[in-house]
Amino acid sequence: MNYEFSDKVTGLQPSAIREILKFTSDPTVISLAAGNPAPEAFPVKEIAEITERLLKTNPVDALQYSITEGYTPLRETMKERMAASGCFNPDSDDLIITSGAQQANELSCKVLLNEGDTLICEAPSFIGSLNAFKSYHVNLVGVEMDSDGMNLEALETALKNANKPKLIYIIPNFQNPTGLCTSLEKRKAVYELAKKYGVMILEDNPYGDIRFAGKDIPSIKSMDKDGIVIYSGTFSKVLAPGLRVGYVSAPKPIIQKIVVCKQVSDVHTNIMAQIICDEYMRNYDMNAHLEEIRAIYRHKCGLMISKIDKNFSDKITCTRPEGGLFIWATLPENCDMMSFCKTAVEKYKVAVVPGTAFLIDDNETSHSFRLNFSTPTDEQLVKGCEILGKLSKEMFD
Amino acid sequence: MNYEFSDKVTGLQPSAIREILKFTSDPTVISLAAGNPAPEAFPVKEIAEITERLLKTNPVDALQYSITEGYTPLRETMKERMAASGCFNPDSDDLIITSGAQQANELSCKVLLNEGDTLICEAPSFIGSLNAFKSYHVNLVGVEMDSDGMNLEALETALKNANKPKLIYIIPNFQNPTGLCTSLEKRKAVYELAKKYGVMILEDNPYGDIRFAGKDIPSIKSMDKDGIVIYSGTFSKVLAPGLRVGYVSAPKPIIQKIVVCKQVSDVHTNIMAQIICDEYMRNYDMNAHLEEIRAIYRHKCGLMISKIDKNFSDKITCTRPEGGLFIWATLPENCDMMSFCKTAVEKYKVAVVPGTAFLIDDNETSHSFRLNFSTPTDEQLVKGCEILGKLSKEMFD
């Protein structure tokens, strides 16, 4: 049988990262290619306590159908926390629970864009979001990144010239894959440009809570006087990603449409996981927990940077992130990034992700690759950087 | 700010059931309007045991990111179970875990239909699926139901005349909302018609395991020699719906596309819930558990039918389901169904769902309403039927 698929999904391929990750199922491969939080950062004991108590005292609430908007006490907790950080405006916004930030980002695209409308994003950007947007057959336009965020001239050109621009997608904190932060100045400028051209902003902030150096920068959402910013967040990096609990805060009419789409997508998010997130914040010290996580990542990022500095060819330049999970390494134009990544995994059993995986069209050229420091053990991280360093010197020096 | 939404979602409204369910938040209202499984059917003790053991012995696997296709041991268990019932063909099919059957049904539509293509469904049908299909801006065509399933002439007319028919959506066992079963003869005929007109079938079977009378009828999937049937199921009615775990079995190329779409929708289904379902089937007696659930629903359905027979006006005819959660009550054409439902909830505090809620266009006329026997307690069920009976006699006799 020759199956015919919808135009939306005909060209959609599994994420290119998967091809690399195939190698990582070999236990002898050191993977610096993942994006998983460090398992030692999961509050296992507390989650076990909450779950045991819950299934003893209130099992039906944890197992029965629930409402699409999310577990009401968790929504209240998050509204308070988000209002405190300027990411929720009690007068005009609503906030709901989603199945990870992935769902929040996907549904924002579904409710706002017709097929062919333009969504503007950073280039490179998070492949999971890019594929979500592609699955609605929208026109994706990438804007090149400077070290302090999107290039503003390129952004304005895109806003002027694109077919029906509707949404700017941006990860302002420790962006995936580059690890870069958008400066306060640029956040303001992006906001003003969105306003000028009548488009909305989708601010995706999965990593904001794991800043381990430098100072917090106000979110774009906190500048929103015009009701044009949708803000998504997640418990994946601060509690545990297997729970699949995220949230989205936006002007009420937007949230109403997202709720209708979420209802037809999965009815509601796993309710036990929602209660776990809420009880954790109510009964344990979330801020102390965040400090612990930040210490783990501060250590791991520092270790990776020191090993890069010691071992890598001088031809490779790397970002120095102040938070998040990733470092972005860039080769000179005359060096073959893809051959480096392939040799590393096939011959030396160290996996990184080729930069092409984060482009709108992965046939385009990239001279960069992504390194992850959150998932490997310290030992793997050190050994992996030594091997990559040796190979880089062999190939490029 | 005046927000512009995509054409897909502009006309999409929250399910009409919600308007009725609003009244049911009043604790003095007796709700026969829900669709929740009976909470006494949840295996609470076993789920608590599994969860406690899991978070002690294997917490990272239960909390870390996992693969989109689902927890491998659960997929293996379900492939075996589904192969045994003819719903999985090991040679040509694949099977993945979804966030409820809702997600399986939604993504089947997303991967197969362009905007404007036709999806044919039973009329009336499950509102959650109808809204999912509508959210992709497809053309929905309803086929009237006989007591043994879709009217075949009407189905063939729809297949002949509709714009690009791509998919027939059918709930052959104890359909929501009617409680009716499609006969074996009609299952065969629907399959042959689908084949003749080159369309696929989406067979949704959430209630098949809760047959409490009569004999199982083979699934349409079990007749599939041509690779044209997608089969979706769920743990919502047999374990607990708050877990949000379902599954879908289909020819491999279809599953490949659904996986890509699931990846961008929620990355994967809550992993702890998936492990709970798998461990339950491996370590406890699922068949004995199903017998217990069937006994609960056999009792509740029988109780409701006896109270309907005793109390309702003779003008009302009701289906006599052999499984599932619902009874469908129909008034003569000259009786005002909507006024009956409104008076029942507003004046007498008993909620049922008006039949219009299950039509493609809820401005169409219906003379039926849906009664649920799984959620109310026995006492509520008896009292609710007595009140509805009294009102029906006042209004119609």
Q: Say what the pLDDT of residue A127 is.
A: 93
Q: Say what the pLDDT of residue A16 is.
A: 60
Which of A6, A110, A293 should we substitute to test contact with B (largest number of B Cβ atoms within 10 Å)?
A6
Q: What is the CA radius of gyration of chain A?
A: 21
ipTM confidence: 0.96
Contact across the interface for A131 and B244, Cβ inside 8 Å: no
A24 C-beta neighbours (distance < 10 Å), count: 18
CB distance from A262 to chain B under 8 Å? no
CB distance from B60 to chain A under 8 Å? yes
Which of A44, A64, A325 should we substitute to test contact with B (largest number of B Cβ atoms within 10 Å)?
A64
Q: Which residues of A touch B265 (CB under 8 A)?
A: 99, 102-103, 106, 132, 265-266
CB distance from A110 to chain B under 8 Å? yes
pLDDT in tens, A40-84: 999 999 999 999 999 999 999 999 999 999 999 999 999 999 999
**Considering only alpha carbons, which residue of chain A is nearest residue B195?**
A1
**Considering only alpha carbons, which residue of chain B is nearest residue A126?**
B264
Q: Say what the pLDDT of residue A11 is.
A: 83
CB distance from A202 to chain B under 8 Å? no
Q: Which of A7, A37, A166 sits opposite B114 (nearest CB)?
A: A7
By DSSP bridging, strand B149-150 and strand B139-146 are antiparallel
Contact across the interface for B63 and A228, Cβ inside 8 Å: no
What's the CA angle centered on B160, arms B157 and B162, to 5 degrees? Answer: 95
Question: Of the candidates A296, A308, A240, which has an alpha carbon nearest to the alpha carbon of residue B55?
Answer: A240
CB distance from A91 to chain B under 8 Å? no
Tens of pLDDT along chain B (397 residues)?
A: 789 999 999 988 766 666 666 777 788 999 999 999 999 999 999 999 999 999 999 999 999 999 999 999 999 999 999 999 999 999 999 999 999 999 999 999 999 999 999 999 999 999 999 999 999 999 999 999 999 999 999 999 999 999 999 999 999 999 999 999 999 999 999 999 999 999 999 999 999 999 999 999 999 999 999 999 999 999 999 999 999 999 999 999 999 999 999 999 999 999 999 999 999 999 999 999 999 999 999 999 999 999 999 999 999 999 999 999 999 999 999 999 999 999 999 999 999 999 999 999 888 899 999 999 999 999 999 999 999 999 999 999 9
- Tally A–B CB contacts below 8 A: 235
Instruction: Write out the H or E segment, with its range, that includes residue B274.
Output: helix B271-283
Q: In what order do the strands lie in the sheet with A353-354?
A: A317-318, A326-330, A368-372, A353-354
Q: Is omega for the bond preceding A241 within 30 degrees of 0, making it cis?
A: no
Rounded alpha-carbon distances, angstroms, from residue A358 to A33, A162, A259, A364, A366: 13, 21, 29, 10, 9
Q: Which of A6, A66, A261 sits opposite B111 (nearest CB)?
A: A6
**Residue A163 C-alpha, separation from nearest chain B C-alpha, in angstroms:** 15
B95 C-beta neighbours (distance < 10 Å), count: 26
Which contacts of A221-226 are long-range, i.e. CB under 8 A and separated by 24 or more positions?
Answer: A221/A86, A221/A87, A221/A88, A221/A249, A222/A85, A222/A86, A222/A87, A223/A187, A223/A188, A223/A191, A224/A89, A224/A191, A226/A195, A226/B1
Torsion angle of the four alpha carbons A255, A261, A266, A268, in this order, in degrees rounded to the nearest 10: 30
Which of B4, B6, B96 should we substitute to test contact with A (largest number of A Cβ atoms within 10 Å)?
B6
CB distance from B269 to chain A under 8 Å? yes
Residue ranges for chain A with pLDDT beneath 70: 14-21
Q: Say what the pLDDT of residue B16 is.
A: 60
**Residue A312 C-alpha, separation from nearest chain B C-alpha, in angstroms:** 30
Q: Say what the pLDDT of residue B22 is.
A: 73
**Considering only alpha carbons, which residue of chain B is nearest residue A134?**
B264
Contact across the interface for B99 and A64, Cβ inside 8 Å: no
Strands (E) located in chain A: 30-31, 93-98, 118-123, 139-146, 149-150, 165-170, 200-204, 229-234, 246-251, 317-318, 326-330, 350-351, 353-354, 368-372
Contact across the interface for B131 and A264, Cβ inside 8 Å: yes
Taking only residues 142 to 181 of chain A, the set having a beta carbon closer than 8 angstroms to any beta carbon of chain B reads 166
**Considering only alpha carbons, which residue of chain B is nearest residue A107?**
B265
Q: Say what the pLDDT of residue B18 is.
A: 64
**Which string of DSSP letters, residue by residue, matches B42-75?**
S-HHHHHHHHHHHHHH-HHHHHS---TT--HHHH
Q: Say what the pLDDT of residue B96 is.
A: 98
B121 C-beta neighbours (distance < 10 Å), count: 24
Q: Which residues of B touch A52 (CB under 8 A)?
A: 48, 51-52
Considering the entire predicted model, what is its pTM? Answer: 0.97
CB-CB contact of A31 with A351 (8 Å): yes
CB-CB contact of A319 with A327 (8 Å): yes
Residues whose CB falls within 8 Å of the CB of residue B16, separated by 6 or more in sequence, listed in order: B127, B354, B356, B357, B362
Contact across the interface for A39 and B60, Cβ inside 8 Å: yes
What's the CA angle centered on A35, arms A29 and A40, to 5 degrees? Answer: 85
Instruction: Write out the H or E segment, with its range, that includes residue B290.
Output: helix B286-311
Question: Of the candidates B305, B303, B306, B308, which has an alpha carbon nearest to the alpha carbon of residue B389?
Answer: B308
Which of B15, B17, B63, B372 should we substitute to test contact with A (largest number of A Cβ atoms within 10 Å)?
B63
What's the half-sphere exposure (Cβ side, CA atoms, 13 Å) at B149? Answer: 21
Question: Of the candidates A239, A252, A204, A13, which has an alpha carbon nearest to the alpha carbon of residue A104?
Answer: A204
Which of A3, A129, A135 should we substitute to test contact with B (largest number of B Cβ atoms within 10 Å)?
A3
Contact across the interface for B244 and A226, Cβ inside 8 Å: no
